[in-house]
Amino acid sequence: MARLEGKIALVTGGASVPGLGSATAHRFAQEGAKVWLTDRDAAGAEAVAQAIRDAGGQAVALAHDVTSEADWDAVFAAIEAADGHLDILVNNAGIAVLRPIGEMTTADWLLQNNVNLNSVFFGTKRAVVSMRKTGTKGSIINISSTAGLVGVPACSAYAAAKGGVRLFSKTVAIETAREGIRVNSVHPGMILTNIQGVAQEDNAANYDAVLGAVPMGFMGEPDDIANVNLFLASDEAKYVTGAEFVVDGGMTAV
């Protein structure tokens, strides 16, 4: 039997290819989940959903600005109308703007906290309310970063948001543990995604310094994160909550 057979999953930020959201959506569908794939880029999300369907999986794409509470309400309404409940939420949508503190603008700061932290609150709250309503023992997976664990040059706003995701996840995990709603954070290091390409162009000197600090000497692939997400989404992780999973080639072990 597939590891997510019959489960309903929502993955945000799923349009980017290569990306953590699209890789996770594919992996979940391969293991039997019906995946609701959302992104501000509706056409991109639909392309990923179609690729999943072409491979024999179940996927639905929706336009979704994760900084909009109205959009979150619409997404949950659509899922509940079609499938009755939600088993898995992956708060994956994110953005990185690398700037030294002297060059960081208020707009940079607010944008990264809105996309990377506020959206996680919006989605997690709605998932908890939905799961409580249906009695679902679900899994909420919040994508943080190694920048949410240790200092990284030029990442002050990004790190503030991702560090917030880490402790937010632990707190909600404690609040929901007795109900069987599990909440965990995943902390990718340097992964070969489109967002990393943008970050490299944006601040090449700092980016190269960070990559040079990876003990394994190379970047990971989106499937490295998707496979961790799969474990956390599955019943194999039924006793795992409030935890943080670091996937960084040893970067934070130094």
239 as an active site residue: the answer is no
Q: What is the largest CA-CA distance in the chain?
A: 54
Range 40-59 average pLDDT: 98
12 part of a folded domain: yes
81 part of a folded domain: yes
Number of domains in the chain: 1
Tokens of 117: 């932290």
User: What is the structure's pLDDT at 212?
Assistant: 77
Which pLDDT tens digit goes with each residue over 106-151?
999 999 999 999 999 999 999 999 999 999 999 999 999 999 999 9
3-state SS record for 33-70: CEEEEEECCHHHHHHHHHHHHHCCCEEEEEECCCCCHH
Per-residue pLDDT at 163 exceeds 90: yes
3 part of a folded domain: no
DSSP code string of 102-147? GG--HHHHHHHHIIIIIHHHHHHHHHHHHHHHHT---EEEEE--GG
Catalytic residue, candidates 28, 122, 158, 168 = 158
105 part of a folded domain: yes
Lowest mean pLDDT among 131-135, 207-211, 216-220, 230-234: 207-211
Place 206 in a pLDDT band, splitting at 50, 70 and 90.
Answer: low
Which pLDDT tens digit goes with each residue over 22-33?
999 999 999 999
Beta bridge partners of 143: 186
1 part of a folded domain: no
The boundaries of the domain holding residue 74 are 8-245
251 part of a folded domain: no
97 part of a folded domain: yes
Tokens of 216: 């394994």
Q: What is the CATH number of the domain that holds 56?
A: 3.40.50.720
Percent above pLDDT 90 for the chain: 88
